[in-house]
Amino acid sequence: MQLFRTKSVEQTIAETDDKDRKLKRTLGAWDLAIMGVAVAVGAGIFSVGAQAAAYHAGPAVIISFLIAGVVCGAAVMCYAEFASMIPVAGSAYTFTYTTVGEIMAWIIGWDLILEMLMAGSVISKYWGVYLNDFFGLMGWDLNTNITLFGGFNFDVAPLIIVAFFTVLLVFGTKLGARVDGAMTVLKIAIVFFVVIVGFFYVKASNYTPFIPPSEPASSVQGASVVTGVWTQPLWQWMTGMTPSIYGVPGILSGAALVFFAFIGFDVVATASEETKNPHRNVPLGIGVGMLLIIVMYMLVAIVTTGMVSYKELAAADSPSLATAFEIVGATWAAKVISFGIVLGLATVVMVLLLGLTRIVFAMSRDGLLPRGLSRTGQHGTPAVLQIAVGVVVALVAACFDIGVLSDMVNIGTLSAFTLVAVSIPIMRAKRPELPRAFKMPGNPWVPILIALANFWLMINLSVLTWVRFLVWLVLGFAIYFGYSYRHSRLGRGDLTGDISDEVASAL
């Protein structure tokens, strides 16, 4: 069996010339940068940092954010090199297919489907939760939850937000990007407004001790989430360590947690095939967007831990940036933050819907999933697939409690980051002559270090997350060997490497 058969770059690019499966190039560098900020800056910027400070790292959560930001930023720079060289839909799936082979590409594509499906469903559901919270804070007697026959609770909010962005994306990626961009600019303004106000409440004493001494997790109220066998970090379980928080281990486990805040930025690479002058605009858009995200998260972490002691955050039921404002008496800020979360989550939904559709689109075009899914319509978008994805995401979000699966988003992304980083030196060795508008510096050692850093963050995730991840992989292998291997266009010899003049000029 030819499990590690690879597609050539020429074959991969030639596929974009299929008139029935062709995406329209309409996006610029700023569109991509805003798209990256839109997907990475959601509710996490207002909550994840406070939780990491309370239960993992204390004020040193600032370092946790820096570690996660540097690792994620370095990883997406690897994406930038590939995207500037192979500007085709599919992101890590497509890059892996051209370097380490079909079976590994399938694994990454399967992981990305998991990541984006679960992330889209979780974010859509929580958009409804925060929308109802906002209604309550404003004193409005509105609620999106409906109790149906038999006491079944149905939330219509996920249906509304998913339907709205699905319609926009069906009529064109550029239209969706413009609406999402306008909302994202407003979201950024809210973040900076909250940060500026928060600085007036900062006390230097709250940063002491900056790195709290390590202590058993069970000694802190609310930190019981890391005391059980299934919920403690994998490496602590493997080494037999007593579950602990704070100290250097707390900084590292905090980095693994806040990495969720950067999740989804790789979605930008899935839009490469819809970008004008992708060799220039994709690396530029990814770089600018990532820089904006790291700055915003670092500022929020500094303000949150400076306003109140991490011990006070740990004593709260659900620590967040709003909790910090409430403790210092600025309760009015909760309304602003609540609106910011509603706006922030809405923009995340749009980018995840786009990313999930493009991953399935790329795998379908290669024959690893049914080919009919990759047909595009008159607007240059895979309309039928986009609608189908929207229906699945909306129904899962509206009908099921999926909070327990949110950690799967992290492990799916980190596994993709790891393989893309490893693929950089492989492709440099295989095809050194290919033009690269952007090159990841320090090859091969820097990409290898990036891969190791991502893997380290992976083993800082919980044991239960790893068990669920392995179950998902087993299901993926069953589908691959039952369907995908036999229907692969590469395996059947259906692919050619001829690139038309139109495609060549677009690249």
pLDDT tens string, the chain, 507 residues long: the values are: 688 888 888 878 787 777 777 777 788 888 888 877 877 776 567 777 777 888 888 888 888 888 888 887 788 788 888 877 887 877 778 888 888 889 989 998 998 888 788 888 878 887 887 788 788 777 887 777 777 666 666 778 888 889 988 988 888 767 777 777 777 788 788 888 888 888 888 888 888 888 888 776 665 555 444 445 666 666 666 766 666 677 888 888 788 777 766 766 667 777 777 888 877 888 888 888 888 888 888 888 888 888 888 888 877 766 777 778 888 887 777 778 778 778 777 878 888 888 889 889 989 989 999 988 888 877 777 888 999 999 998 888 777 665 555 566 777 777 888 888 888 898 898 888 887 877 888 888 999 998 898 888 788 777 878 888 889 899 999 999 999 999 998 888 776 554 444 444 544
C-beta atoms surrounding 442 within 10 Å:
13
Counting beta carbons within 10 angstroms of the beta carbon of residue 395, is it exposed (0 to 12), middle (13 to 18) or buried (19 or more)?
middle
Q: State the Cα–Cα distance between residues 363 and 400, nearest whole angstrom.
A: 27
In degrees rounded to 5, what are phi and psi of residue 84?
A: -75, -20
Residue 2 lies in a domain: no
Residue 497 lies in a domain: no
Terminal Cα distance for the chain, rounded: 34
Residue 495 lies in a domain: no
Q: State the Cα–Cα distance between residues 95 and 77, nearest whole angstrom.
A: 13
How many structural domains comprise the chain?
1
Residue 34 lies in a domain: yes
Q: State the Cα–Cα distance between residues 99 and 25, nearest whole angstrom.
A: 25
Which pTM was predicted? 0.78
Residue 56 lies in a domain: yes
Residue 292 lies in a domain: yes
Report the 3 state secondary structure along 278-311: HHHHHHHHHHHHHHHHHHHHHHHHHHHHHHCCHH
* CATH code for the domain of 119: 1.20.1740.10
Residue 289 lies in a domain: yes
Q: Are strands 145-147 and 244-245 parallel, antiparallel or unpaired?
A: unpaired
Q: In which domain, by residue range, is 365 found?
A: 9-490
Residue 501 lies in a domain: no
